[in-house]
Structure 1
Amino acid sequence: MISSSKSIKSRNEDSIMIENRQQQSQEDEEEDPFLRFVDYARSLLSPENNDSVLESSTPSWSWIVSRILKTCIAYSSGVTAAILLSDLSLAWSEQRRFRVPKKMPEWIEQLKKKNRRTKLVNTVTIDSIYEKNFLSTSSVLEAVVVDAFVLPGTNIYMLTLGDFWSSNNIDLYLHRRYYDLVDPCHGILRKGREVFLTGCYLRTAAEGSGYPRLLPTEYIVILLDEDQDDDAMLLGAQFCSDSFSSISLDAFTEGASYSLYARIESMGSPETQAISGCVQKKQIILVDNDGVKMKFLLWGEQLLLANLFSVGNMLALDKPYIASSVDDAQELCLEYGSATQIYMVPVIQHEEQVSISLTQNRCLGSRMLSTYDPSQGPKVSQLTLPCDSQGSVDFRNYPFRAFITDLHDKMTGISLYGCVTDILWDENIAKTVFRLRIRDTTGSIWVTWKIRSWPHHIYLWLDMLHDKTKAVTGAAFVNLSCLPAMLNSSCLHKLSLLADLSKQNDATHICQVWLDQVEYYHVNTRLSHSLCGHFLDNSPSKFMKCNFCHCACDSEVVNTFHLKITIADESTKIFAWCTGETASELLQISPDEFCELTEEEQIMYFSSLENERFIVAIVNCQRQVLGPRDGQTQEYDDVAWEITRAQKCE
């Protein structure tokens, strides 16, 4: 009985300790200047009369954060609140142009209402082309044919194009490979037809010569609607008789052509192929109605076409070029040839109702909290988000910050803000693929990541979430602890004293310090892998391998510092370590220059550094990096604090 009571008491004490830690962690985040600025910026960009944070006129939390970080990367010397707010305001105004209703013909309005596609990443509006008098070749136009006509006195066909967001139209010189599709009676390129196009050049209007026009482009995709009788008949009559299994390279060589219908299963990243020089290649995997897969390859400038495709879309390829695979002569693949024309049935954008958890309702930002009445329950309970053909819900435009406790199966486009506590490498998974444990105020989660550096306090985009504990994949991250702009951006941080560091172990601290002591025996030059910054064995070898990336790095080896140093401020002094650019900045010398000095000159050089003042970013680095067999490795001994970025005070 006594034992049982002690056990219950112990569990209660553990519970209280956990609750206290969570409460302290939440209080620390509420004091985080970066998060406070995000909430402040979002409140300024939200309409004054915004009764619902779910309106499209309100930017999402992740959009605000990613835009701030993008500006910080562009302004590496630091940013002010005015710079950030100005950039956010301009970027948000530009983005909202797609949502502002424009005066347009009724029949285009009807097409717009039927449009349930997700807008492509590089899409620009016709109005923006006129405003900027510029068009990048990688830009995408999601257009509607307003008219097709022949220039008077010529045999040159023109298309007049509009879009769903613009009040202006623009004329396109039609490429001759599409002339057979503009027959006034039977042509498919006629009024009301939707098209995607890219690779366009803008012919600007010279003085007194009319208005801007688009020059011919080969890269046009014609959209089909299976619910329209004419389009359904075209697909059935022309594209359903051939399949991937029926393709014969010999028959193609003798003049046979194929019309194929298949779904885009995946799209690879561009690769460099050494064929007649260095040519870029992009591989798209298609699956036909029989479940047979085949590669569709794009080469060189043709990679622009991939900007028009999305996974799940159905492609109707008329007269593709048939070739043997570069890697396997027995394998056939499709290519975009001189006679190829592409039709596409876009994947329909499905939507799903998502419940808003109490986590978000607790953290809606200053404006909503000021009007929130807990007795009335959550202010917002549900919102509608798009989902893909596999049922994964896209949280890219989710209005709130996502916390780890909110994650569940079938989520994509998630953004997390937190601290990396562990890195695990498993030799059975793949080389250079690691597992990171990310922690925020609500819990922690393992993320699979192909990592090239050691992250600390990070902002992370999750590409796909299949299972909360086993298969979370990271798409991109920004390491705030190493971001140069953070040191000079007072709106995104507050200065800490060294004596306060132990109160917030998970935070990145910005401190103004001086060098208190630089010992000769604490300054080492070592070989490191230039891509990830981690040390190599100093023993010379023909085949050098990075112990962190687990890959050969013979041509990517540089000299770098491993520095342990005592820094001080008015409150106390601490012992810390750093490497790479940060160590070079503190020592005000490069490793190669340092190695050229004699031992006596090196010792004298250190004495001249004492009392030099710096602004530094400091993190607690007592975390684990686990290898496949050797357990925890302590490359940097037991020094608790790492200086991740430093800048000399002028």
Structure 2
Amino acid sequence: MDSSAMDLDDELEDHQQQQQDDIDPFIEFINYASSILSPPLNDVDEDDEPTPDTEEREREGPGWSWIASRVLKTCISYSSGVTAAILLSELSQAWNEQRKTSAPTKRPDCINQLKKKHKRSKLPNTVTIDTIYEKNFLSLNSVLEAVVVDTFVLPGTKINMITLGDFWSSNTIDLYLHRRYYDLASPQNGILRKGREVFLTGCYLRSANEGSGHPRLLPTEYLVILLDEEQDDDAMLLGAQFCTDSFSSISLDGANEGVSYSLYARIESIGPLENLEKFGGIQRKQIKLVDNDNSEMSFLLWGEQVALANLFSVKSMLAIDRPFIGSSSESDVETCGSVCLEYGSATQLYLVPFVRQEEQICLGLTPNRLRGSRLATASCPTQGPKASQMTLPCDSQGSVDFSNYPFQSFIVDLHEKMTGISIYGAVMDISREANTAKSIFTMKIQDPTGAICVKLHFNESWSLGRLSLGHTVYISGLTCAKTKHKGLTSDCNISSFFDSLEARWFENAPGTSFVNLSCLPAILNSSCLHKPSYLADISRQNTGTHNSYPVSHAAVNTDQICRVWLDQIDYCHVNTRLAHVTCGHFVKTTASGSVECEFCCCSCEMKTRRTFHVKITVADDSGKVFAWCTGQNAIELLQISPDEFYELPEEEQVIYPCSLENERYMIAIVNCDQQETIFKECVTAENDMVPWEITRALKL
């Protein structure tokens, strides 16, 4: 080996050692928890060909974002701090509940056959039959996604029973069939027979201790029969019974004369739960349907019927046999026609569920990211992934859902048509969008591999508490798309449009969360999630400079946890200012006398509170740093509230900080000195050109 190659190897080894030293303790714990919760893969012979069972086992562990979200959720619940044992216990319990959806060792053969092609997503309120047995409880809002295992009549009676199983349980359970479905369970030509899938809700559980030898489900009206358009019998049923009538053929007069309709349409949207005072406070849900002629009509659920909406999903096809035809004006429905559909006493529902497509994606998109992980190649047990690909779901537009991706996603890997993305990084810039009445903020976030702009869409106003430059955040539920921006070409002054990648986040959308780790109190008391540093270490802090090697699990390099004491109180500056309650940032009084928040760009005359603005020197055995802080951290350092301090005489305000000299604290400190930012004016008002912010403080 020549000297240049040896030098390169030495440089790479030094770089990897530095990465190991700089590893973020939070990321390190997430990876450790992943190795604990995920089954080992080295029990498969290297010479064996992969089998469906081994491929499935490789995906049994939780996704990276699943673990990160639950660790942070636990930290929020335990503000006084957590231990590794507490976190692993919480994760294990949550994952065991989640794994109730995994394949059991025993189940009926008819379910095993259906399992092979079962690809649809579970409904939100779905429970398993095993869970019903374990808890001996079933709520009325719970959903059962079941398969008919058997049908029979109770001996000596005319009571029809069906035995149900599901894809995730080894147990089965019997259901007393509601009389409106007896015709469908007929042995001669009934559709409710062995192997038929059904959705049901609104079930009462008759426990084993109430007379029968085992639990049973009491009759429910709210049952939907699933159809498969690829099966000949189901395709014939849909074609013969449901493709003759359309929305345009429905008339109120015809319905009043006894004409019945059978309709087939796509579920376009599922409306919110409404409480209608003009109808005596009854609840209602509107299901918007679109038929093959692109005609729209509302399907209404009233009172207890609203539970049926739990069985529906947008884009699924709904077949409605004998709906009740109502007047849209009498039902107070805004629709383009004069009639609407309702769930009547003779109505029966069939559903062709929407099945999300899947796409093969490569594992380990960022080189070297898997160093130290549990995945291994046959040639080297410590490096690289054993499985080079995995299957992730995608929608009809080709967007791939990464919410269950097993590894951390880095910004360098992001591309358009990705959903369910989680990012862990530092805030480099943030501002509210102008020229819109909506509450939309643009945030630039950076991780060790790059930076990306995120559009934060809020329902009403900013709701994430105080967030500023340099803060470390975890954000999940992102979608990525290409957007067009206007700019100058590189060789002339002619403006042109160019595409750039943008991430979007919508408040309260499924799977979304936003946690500011820099302001999370539990981190300071959780030794498993942080690594104490010296103040001298922050001088070598990497604020995002790219290097020649790919970064693997490296820290975001903004937060530093230090044990310090207050020093040089003579140089301490303590002021009180008014801050916007919603976002925690300082407000200003305009020339017209109104009070405005510089961060939210809105008037906030009645939504302010007094807060501290402190600039102070902290020290440890390695050196000193001049930093600033506000809010609860300043209260923790000064051990007095802003209102109490404001009421002190001026001379007492001057001498008060002297009593705190040499008091010891544990602090989190970040670099907030970003040179280029739209947020500059607001930042300058806060940090007053002091580059270090104390984001958390705890008196020792």
The TM-score normalised by the length of structure 1 is 0.82
CA contact (8 A) 1:423 1:435 kept: yes
Among 380, 400, 403, which residue is 1:396 paired with? 403
Correspondence 1:348 to 2:355? yes
Among 24, 37, 43, which residue is 1:45 paired with? 37
Q: Which residue of 2 aligns with 1:4?
A: none
User: Shift in Å at residue 216 of structure 1?
Assistant: 4.3
CA contact (8 A) 2:375 2:384 kept: no
Post-superposition CA distance 1:119-164 (Å, at most 9, x none): 3344322112212223344433211122345556766654322112
Q: Which residue of 2 aligns with 1:198?
A: 201
In structure 2, how many angstroms separate the alpha carbons of the residues matched to 1:131 and 1:299? 33
1:480-519 alignment runs, 5 A limit? 480-504=517-541, 505=543, 506-516=557-567, 517=569
In structure 2, how many angstroms separate the alpha carbons of the residues matched to 1:606 and 1:276? 64
**Alignment CA distance shift 1:384-1:207 (3 Å):** closer
CA contact (8 A) 1:39 1:365 kept: no
User: Shift in Å at residue 252 of structure 1?
Assistant: 6.3
In structure 1, how many angstroms separate the alpha carbons of the residues matched to 2:561 and 2:411? 26
Look up the SS of the partner of 1:119 in the other structure. Answer: coil
CA contact (8 A) 2:365 2:413 kept: no
Post-superposition CA distance 1:68-117 (Å, at most 9, x none): 22322232221111122233333333333432333222222212223222
Once the two structures are aligned, what percentage of the paired residues are identical?
A: 60
In structure 2, how many angstroms separate the alpha carbons of the residues matched to 1:621 and 1:296? 54
**Alignment CA distance shift 1:440-1:152 (3 Å):** same
Post-superposition CA distance 1:145-197 (Å, at most 9, x none): 22345556766654322112212112334455545544444443333221122
1:194-233 alignment runs, 5 A limit? 194-206=197-209, 209-233=212-236
1:441-460 alignment runs, 5 A limit? 441-450=448-457, 452-453=463-464, 454=467, 456-460=471-475
User: Shift in Å at residue 32 of structure 1?
Assistant: 0.9
CA contact (8 A) 1:146 1:192 kept: yes
Q: Which residue of 2 aligns with 1:3?
A: none
CA contact (8 A) 1:261 1:315 kept: yes
CA contact (8 A) 1:565 1:577 kept: yes
User: Shift in Å at residue 524 of structure 1?
Assistant: 0.8
CA contact (8 A) 2:358 2:391 kept: yes
CA contact (8 A) 1:135 1:202 kept: yes
Q: Which residue of 2 aligns with 1:6?
A: none
The one-letter amino acid paired with 2:517 is L
User: Shift in Å at residue 34 of structure 1?
Assistant: 1.2
Post-superposition CA distance 1:557-604 (Å, at most 9, x none): 544444444333333333333333333333334444545555456556
**Alignment CA distance shift 1:300-1:207 (3 Å):** closer
Look up the SS of the partner of 1:438 in the other structure. Answer: strand
**Alignment CA distance shift 1:486-1:155 (3 Å):** farther
Q: Which residue of 1 aligns with 2:546?
A: none
**Alignment CA distance shift 1:631-1:539 (3 Å):** closer
Look up the SS of the partner of 1:444 in the other structure. Answer: strand
1:452-601 alignment runs, 5 A limit? 452-453=463-464, 454=467, 456-467=471-482, 469-474=500-505, 475-504=512-541, 505=543, 506-516=557-567, 517=569, 522-530=574-582, 532-537=583-588, 546-550=597-601, 556-599=607-650
Q: Which residue of 2 aligns with 1:612?
A: 663
Post-superposition CA distance 1:477-502 (Å, at most 9, x none): 22221222211111111012223223
**Alignment CA distance shift 1:376-1:100 (3 Å):** closer
The one-letter amino acid paired with 1:473 is R
Post-superposition CA distance 1:271-292 (Å, at most 9, x none): 8877679888766554332234
Post-superposition CA distance 1:367-404 (Å, at most 9, x none): 44797659998754333222222211222222222211
1:165-180 alignment runs, 5 A limit? 165-175=168-178, 178=181
Q: Which residue of 2 aligns with 1:434?
A: 441
In structure 1, how many angstroms separate the alpha carbons of the residues matched to 2:643 and 2:342? 51
In structure 2, how many angstroms separate the alpha carbons of the residues matched to 1:290 and 1:602? 76
Post-superposition CA distance 1:19-70 (Å, at most 9, x none): 99xx799838952111122222222333344368981233332232223223
In structure 1, how many angstroms separate the alpha carbons of the residues matched to 2:656 and 2:283? 50
In structure 2, how many angstroms separate the alpha carbons of the residues matched to 1:142 and 1:101? 16
CA contact (8 A) 1:360 1:402 kept: no
CA contact (8 A) 1:526 1:562 kept: no
Look up the SS of the partner of 2:637 in the other structure. Answer: helix
Q: Which residue of 1 aligns with 2:696?
A: 645
**Alignment CA distance shift 1:206-1:356 (3 Å):** closer
Correspondence 1:133 to 2:159? no
Q: Which residue of 2 aligns with 1:14?
A: none
The one-letter amino acid paired with 1:585 is E
The one-letter amino acid paired with 1:426 is E
More moved, 409-418 vs 496-505: 496-505
CA contact (8 A) 1:462 1:472 kept: no
**Alignment CA distance shift 1:97-1:295 (3 Å):** same
Aligned length: 628
Can you give the 5+ residue segments of structure 1 that lack an aligned partner in the other structure? 1-18
The one-letter amino acid paired with 1:529 is V
**Alignment CA distance shift 1:31-1:270 (3 Å):** farther
CA contact (8 A) 2:372 2:382 kept: no
In structure 2, how many angstroms separate the alpha carbons of the residues matched to 1:328 and 1:395? 38
The one-letter amino acid paired with 1:490 is S
User: Shift in Å at residue 412 of structure 1?
Assistant: 1.6
Look up the SS of the partner of 2:191 in the other structure. Answer: coil
**Alignment CA distance shift 1:65-1:375 (3 Å):** closer
The TM-score normalised by the length of structure 2 is 0.77
Task: Tell me how large the CA RMSD over aligned residues is.
Answer: 4.2
Can you give the 5+ residue segments of structure 2 that lack an aligned partner in the other structure? 1-10, 45-53, 484-499, 506-511, 544-556
In structure 2, how many angstroms separate the alpha carbons of the residues matched to 1:276 and 1:643? 56
CA contact (8 A) 2:618 2:627 kept: yes
The one-letter amino acid paired with 1:95 is Q
The one-letter amino acid paired with 1:40 is Y
Look up the SS of the partner of 1:359 in the other structure. Answer: coil
1:37-436 alignment runs, 5 A limit? 37-50=29-42, 55-149=58-152, 157-175=160-178, 178=181, 181-206=184-209, 209-246=212-249, 258-267=261-270, 285-294=288-297, 304-318=307-321, 319=323, 322=326, 323-324=328-329, 328=334, 337-339=343-345, 340-356=347-363, 359-368=366-375, 373=380, 379-428=386-435, 431-436=438-443
In structure 2, how many angstroms separate the alpha carbons of the residues matched to 1:393 and 1:281? 34
In structure 2, how many angstroms separate the alpha carbons of the residues matched to 1:338 and 1:29? 67
In structure 2, how many angstroms separate the alpha carbons of the residues matched to 1:602 and 1:277? 61
The one-letter amino acid paired with 1:189 is L
Q: Which residue of 1 aligns with 2:495?
A: none
The one-letter amino acid paired with 1:568 is A
Look up the SS of the partner of 2:452 in the other structure. Answer: strand
Q: Which residue of 1 aligns with 2:50?
A: none
**Alignment CA distance shift 1:415-1:364 (3 Å):** farther
User: Shift in Å at residue 353 of structure 1?
Assistant: 2.0
In structure 1, how many angstroms separate the alpha carbons of the residues matched to 2:103 and 2:617? 57
The one-letter amino acid paired with 1:452 is S
In structure 2, how many angstroms separate the alpha carbons of the residues matched to 1:332 and 1:511? 69
In structure 1, how many angstroms separate the alpha carbons of the residues matched to 2:657 and 2:245? 76
CA contact (8 A) 2:26 2:530 kept: yes
**Alignment CA distance shift 1:616-1:346 (3 Å):** same
User: Shift in Å at residue 293 of structure 1?
Assistant: 4.3
Look up the SS of the partner of 1:227 in the other structure. Answer: coil
The one-letter amino acid paired with 1:464 is T
